[in-house]
Amino acid sequence: MTKVNRSTNRKGLKSKKTRKRKPARLTLFLLGFAIIITLFIIKPFILNEPNNQQYKSEGIKFKKEGQLSFYRQHTNEIISTIDIEIAEDDYERALGLMHRYSMGNNQGMLFIMDREEQQSFWMKNTYISLDIIFLDKNYEIVSIHKYTQPLSEQQVPSIKKAKYIVEVIEGFCDKVKIKEGDYIRYNRITTQNKQ
């Protein structure tokens, strides 16, 4: 009789534990499901990508924020001058030239990084081929990647340490004969100049 009572008690305990585990499992399942749904909804904000139909249909329009000039290394003569947008915070740098369907021959984007180090870019959501120019902290060109593949997620590395990056339309570097060792200078458009 003692054995039966012990067995019954054990079974009773097991059924209580099972009852306690089911609500815990259900709670964990619902919590996991809620996290997945939340991540799905906020994914565009995490990846710093616009989730706007206007960008997908019209593309992002160029907004002039300054001018940038390329100079010849030994002669210091101006090679070419372009209008630029400036990307200097995390969001602007992550967005870059994504969702653009065209860009003028005299337009580009200047990326200002937080520190000089090896940099790496990609062409995700970038519909136009670009020349990507990497520059050191002294504004000297350290490497150039020409005719990048649109929409590619393959890394485009600076190889050497870079603090500034200029993106221009494909073929620009060949057209104006920009090469490593050349350098840049840029100026911003102040609020007064914009009006």
What b/e string do you get for 102-130 counting C-beta neighbours within 10 Å, with b at 16 or more? ebeeebbbbbebeebeebebebebbebbb
Q: What is the pLDDT of residue 191?
A: 63
Round to whole Å and give the CA distance between 17 and 19.
5
Class of domain 62-194: mainly beta
Indicate the residue type of 24.
A
Q: What is this structure's pTM?
A: 0.70
pLDDT band for position 4 (50/70/90)? very low
Which among 173, 186, 157, 161 is positioned nearest to 65, based on CA atoms?
186
Q: What is the pLDDT of residue 30?
A: 78
pLDDT digits (tens, 9 = 90+) for 64-92: 999 999 999 999 999 999 999 999 999 99
**Averaged over 169-173, what is the pLDDT?**
97
Specify the range with the lowest mean pLDDT, choosing from 11-25, 42-56, 104-118.
Answer: 42-56
pLDDT digits (tens, 9 = 90+) for 140-158: 999 999 999 999 999 999 9
Dihedral of CA atoms 59, 60, 63, 66 in degrees, nearest 10, equals -110
Which among 105, 100, 108 is positioned nearest to 127, based on CA atoms?
100
Cα–chain-centroid distance for residue 100? Answer: 14
Whole-number percent of the chain with pLDDT over 70: 75
pLDDT digits (tens, 9 = 90+) for 13-43: 545 554 555 677 777 777 777 777 666 565 5
Which among 178, 165, 176 is positioned nearest to 139, based on CA atoms?
165
What are the structural domain ranges in the chain? 1-46, 62-194
